Amino acid sequence: MLKVKTQELQEGMVVASDLYITGVKFPLARKGLILNEEHISKLKSHGIAFVYVEHSENYKGSSGQTLALSSVENDIIFEGKVELKGNVPANTSIDAGDSVIIEGDVADGCQIFSRSGVIVIKGFVYGTGDNPLQLYAKQNISVGSATHAVIKTDGEFITEGDIIDTTQAVEEGSIYNFRQRYRRSRYKKCNPY
């Protein structure tokens, strides 16, 4: 699903989920509706801020758009923001022009890039000694905990859990660990790019 601002909707886009307005039992637009100018005008007149629409596999989006996913099966390249409600399976790459927000865990071998935004991973990032995962962000990176990872950022690196066998390269920001447990981790202040 792709989260698109109503003013950026175009004819031919397909609504990805039923769209309701407060106090009305019937949807304003149903899943599968192919939008035309009349539909878009109706959405705007009801003050709808954004709509989830379907997108094709090769659609790369644009800055300001949000790609909202419940799971990941393939690598992602997207010019806007990527939001994921689930886990990222091993050896998956996510390359976003804006922020990356992940509600789950990130497995070994993954590469997560945010070229202009932040990376927020609410779960754990766990690589292996043979297959560490990599996180690169222009702004801050926040994770639950990190094991066998390479983390590079121009901003702050924030974690609430353990940091084990992890390299953190922070250009201008600081590292905040609310548990203060670093085991076999390396910290260096350098240019990660």
Q: What is residue 1's predicted lDDT score, i.e. its pLDDT? A: 76
Q: What is residue 192's predicted lDDT score, i.e. its pLDDT? A: 41
Taking only the tens place, the pLDDT of each residue in 112-164 is 999 999 999 999 999 998 999 999 999 999 999 999 999 999 888 888 888 88
CB atoms within 10 A of CB 29: 20
State the residue for tokens 């909202």.
68
Classify strands 167-170 and 186-188 as parallel, antiparallel or unpaired.
parallel
Taking only the tens place, the pLDDT of each residue in 25-41 is 899 999 999 999 999 99
pTM: 0.73
48 has pLDDT over 70? yes
Domain chopping of the chain, boundaries: 2-53, 66-188
For 2-53, the fitting CATH number among 3.30.70.1400, 3.90.105.10, 3.40.50.150, 3.90.650.10 is 3.90.105.10
**CB neighbour list of residue 147: distance below 8 Å, 6 or more residues apart:** 124, 125, 126, 127, 162, 164, 165, 166
